[in-house]
Structure 1
Amino acid sequence: MNFHSVGAALVRPGQILTDRSALSAVARWTQAVSEADGVCVAHLAPGVDPCELTAEMRAKGLRASPNHVFRGQPLFFGGPASRPFPAPPIPYRPARTRSPVTVAVLDTGVAEHPWWSGAEWYARVAPEDADAAEGQQAGHGTFIAGLLARLAPGATLRVRRVLDGDGVGDEAGVIRALHRMRERPPDVLNLSFGGHTFDDRPPRLLHDAIAAMTDTVTVACAGNTASDRPFWPAALPGVVGVAALDAGQRRRAVYSGYGTWVDACARGDWLESSYPDTGEFGGYAAWSGTSFAAALVSGTIAGEAAGRPAKDVLKELLDGGGHRQIPDLGVLVPASL
């Protein structure tokens, strides 16, 4: 995998992200530049540290970031969130009526499944956005899509693959996917991945890409870090950061991130949902992680937004809505599946 660790953050070596106005400031250290969909990736000369260069550019008031690596968040090595387990078929009938709500799913893609075999949105999924066939997190996006389908019946899913089969993607890829959604922004955006930044500061270009969709409710997982270190994009202003609770929905799941930057929490342990029909799996799995707690919150918001703006649903939710507030975990969002 093409990344390395810097201060417990993962970055693409030799890459820095910026906008067109700042390219001249990095020209002397740059070998090549790739520009697409709202972000420039400067490929640096050997020996140039992208984190040090980022700090220099920011000191001059320029927008810059190393190309941080993001990962899907069931992974917690040695714990229950490490991998999916086969599950028996789940009795569920897809909705016959269509909801006006659109939910964007940036993830590993979505595979074919009986729950959406005849859905218009799935017919529009491009081959490159089909769920990854191999890797530790292949099926991650399909699992999330199933949670959303059950909580927001009839909603349209817009699928973009930004993670590979091992659940690995990067900041540049996410920004580009978000940029392509700006003309038709979704009602709800689910981001079940993330990571730390090298300096624990918010990634500015990613923040701007999310903030550009002003009417979209963005939900992101708090990470399987078992710490209060800010996890991005969940910790960004305007993003609903979601922590995971245990199966009893009483305590924080041992792997879940937490802190003042977390807005909501939902069950993350031993959820069951759709999964690719491969190997020992017959189309269903049980899995744990903040990734899936975030999907429960996204699905709950989308399910209640059929008759009113998603932003209004979110405001009511975060104001308490009669649900318990838990320190460092935010408001409890109960989800019945």
Structure 2
Amino acid sequence: MSTTDEGGRPEAPFGDDYRALRPDDRVGERLRHSVRRQVDELRNNLTDPAVQRQLVRAVSSRYQERRSRTLTTLRGRGGRDVLLVGGEILVTDRTWADRGARQYLQRRGLTEAPLGCDDLEHRLTRLVTTSDQDVQTLDDTVGELRARGFAASLTHVTPMSPVIKNLGGPALGESLGPFADYPRFGDGDGDPVRVAVIDTGIDGHERGDGWLGSVARVPVDDPSTHGNDANVDLLDIQPRDGLLDFAAGHGTFVAGVVAQVAPTADVAVYRALRGGGAGSELEVACALVRAVKNGAQIVNLSLGGQTRFDQPSLALEAALDEIGVLEKQGGEEVLVVAAAGNYGDSVPTWPAAFRRVVAVGALTADLRPTTWSSRGFWVDCSTVGEGVLSTFVEGTESYEFTAEPDTFGPDAFAHWSGTSFAAPQVAGAVARLARERSLPPRQAYAQLVAGGRQVPGFGRALEILPGV
């Protein structure tokens, strides 16, 4: 076991274990410039309307290409555009079972449609328009139901554009060497802790350096998957131009962060975000339940978004309720960890803001609050989110998103910034402590944050992986 000795920095639960692998003298000025650009872009996402529109267009066009569904936006109460699936709403099973609510919805031109998720059929009903209704009309319908005390919502897209990435993408990074030579943090007497990463999927090609080699690659065109369990990241989908698409490699990067912090963990990757890194809240909810049914003890969600009424996502709430049932049936607890978001305000981001979810904000490399991370009473803990190093995919970035496109070779590593890359550090740290100390995940998490330094709006500050 390797943890901070008595008298060490309390916010650094593993001492210098990870920092020793990344000497400061290896961080050159070019890399510092690239990370500063990432941070500047994250700030611009919050204030520049043109950048916000470009992000929404990028996500919308790619989602529509893959799903043949139109995305639209409405202004949320937090003042930012909320991305929504057009022509449909979600209601709880109790709302649909109410005779008055059902008749009202039918009169409003809505009819029941397949949910597409067997695990949540008894909790949610998906309704689609039978006529050409605009999003404002549907929003009025939802508002009327909510005023009458019924649970209803437009179908949100998770994540929203500010959460998934900055426009420019990651920067070239130095290799951590072969995975076989990497220190075996998290070794213990028990079985490896099972961590699920729900994201864009994983690179379909196995790396030559052994990193992420144990993660299954399920071919996208494998008939046995029925289109649900394929976990390969589609790196070049729209347009097919031989360049890395928007959000490509995000899941590979996040999985690599978990593997660095807890190299003995059993990592599985689920692809719920497609078409430019976007997935509906229902797609993410289905993947969440599926991961737990497959045995996940810790689930990382480097995704999320603000909602139309600042209320919890109906689909994700249903998934968490279902996981509670599975925990009781199986007698094994599950810890869900989520990125707090890159909105730079205190408006709740879902799923991070659920009480049952660990919300992780982002700090600078010297553990100070960032200007772009979401914050607030609902954020539980934070760690470094600027210039994080992890595994990436092979390919060249597109000029559509950056004026300085990088080309990544085989076995690439990259530096990236965002709360997306703070959350998996916490998930990995819990997995490491759980195995080292033979603890269930929630107890391991409690011990992890016990020594963290309280930072207003950012919960407990933890130093895990170094940043730039």
| TM-score over 0.5 (shorter chain) | yes
The Cα of 1:4 is off from its aligned counterpart by 1.8
Aligned-partner Cα distance in 1 for 2:393–2:92: 38
The Cα of 1:146 is off from its aligned counterpart by 0.5
Q: Indicate the RMSD between aligned Cα atoms, in angstroms.
A: 2.3
CA contact under 8 A between 2:92 and 2:314: conserved in structure 1? no
Counterpart of 2:444 (choices 308, 313, 318) is 313
Q: Is the aligned partner of 1:291 residue 2:420? A: yes
Counting only pairs closer than 5 Å after superposition, residues 222-237 of structure 1 correspond to structure 2 as: 222-237=340-355
Cα deviation 1:19-49 (Å, max 9, x = unaligned): 4444461333215512232143211232263
Aligned-partner Cα distance in 2 for 1:304–1:263: 18
Structure 2 gaps of 5+ residues are 1-59, 61-69, 76-80, 221-229, 237-244, 325-332, 397-406
CA contact under 8 A between 2:199 and 2:272: conserved in structure 1? yes
Q: Provide the residue aligned with 2:234 in structure 1.
A: 132
SS at match of 1:104: strand
SS at match of 2:115: strand
CA contact under 8 A between 1:41 and 1:172: conserved in structure 2? no
Structure 1 gaps of 5+ residues are none
Cα deviation 1:247-266 (Å, max 9, x = unaligned): 222x1222211111111101
Q: Provide the residue aligned with 1:197 in structure 2.
A: 307
CA contact under 8 A between 1:109 and 1:130: conserved in structure 2? yes
Q: Provide the residue aligned with 2:177 in structure 1.
A: 91
TM-score, structure 1 as length reference:
0.89
Counterpart of 1:324 (choices 445, 453, 456) is 453
Aligned-partner Cα distance in 2 for 1:226–1:202: 19
CA contact under 8 A between 2:255 and 2:269: conserved in structure 1? no
The Cα of 1:66 is off from its aligned counterpart by 1.1
Q: Is the aligned partner of 1:156 residue 2:266? A: yes
Q: Provide the residue aligned with 1:6 in structure 2.
A: 74
Closer, same or farther in 2 for the Cα pair 1:125/1:332, shift >3 Å? farther
Decide which structure has greater strand share.
1
Closer, same or farther in 2 for the Cα pair 1:130/1:248, shift >3 Å? same
Aligned length: 328
Aligned-partner Cα distance in 2 for 1:261–1:100: 30
Aligned-partner Cα distance in 2 for 1:272–1:13: 37
Counterpart of 1:33 (choices 113, 118, 134) is 113
The Cα of 1:170 is off from its aligned counterpart by 1.2
Q: Provide the residue aligned with 1:176 in structure 2.
A: 286
CA contact under 8 A between 2:298 and 2:336: conserved in structure 1? yes
Counterpart of 1:256 (choices 368, 373, 387) is 373
Tell me which amino acid in the other structure corresponds to 1:149: A
SS at match of 1:193: coil
Aligned-partner Cα distance in 1 for 2:152–2:289: 17
SS at match of 1:208: helix
Q: Provide the residue aligned with 1:64 in structure 2.
A: 152
CA contact under 8 A between 1:18 and 1:205: conserved in structure 2? no
TM-score, structure 2 as length reference:
0.65
Aligned-partner Cα distance in 1 for 2:307–2:71: 13
Counterpart of 1:244 (choices 355, 358, 362) is 362
Cα deviation 1:238-283 (Å, max 9, x = unaligned): 111111111222x122221111111110100001110112231121
Decide which structure has greater helix share.
2
CA contact under 8 A between 1:100 and 1:155: conserved in structure 2? yes
Aligned-partner Cα distance in 2 for 1:51–1:302: 41
The Cα of 1:172 is off from its aligned counterpart by 1.3
Tell me which amino acid in the other structure corresponds to 1:289: G
Aligned-partner Cα distance in 2 for 1:324–1:27: 53
Q: Provide the residue aligned with 2:90 in structure 1.
A: 17
Aligned-partner Cα distance in 1 for 2:383–2:425: 7
Aligned-partner Cα distance in 1 for 2:321–2:448: 20
Closer, same or farther in 2 for the Cα pair 1:91/1:68, shift >3 Å? same
The Cα of 1:329 is off from its aligned counterpart by 0.1
SS at match of 1:4: strand
Tell me which amino acid in the other structure corresponds to 2:231: D
CA contact under 8 A between 1:17 and 1:172: conserved in structure 2? no
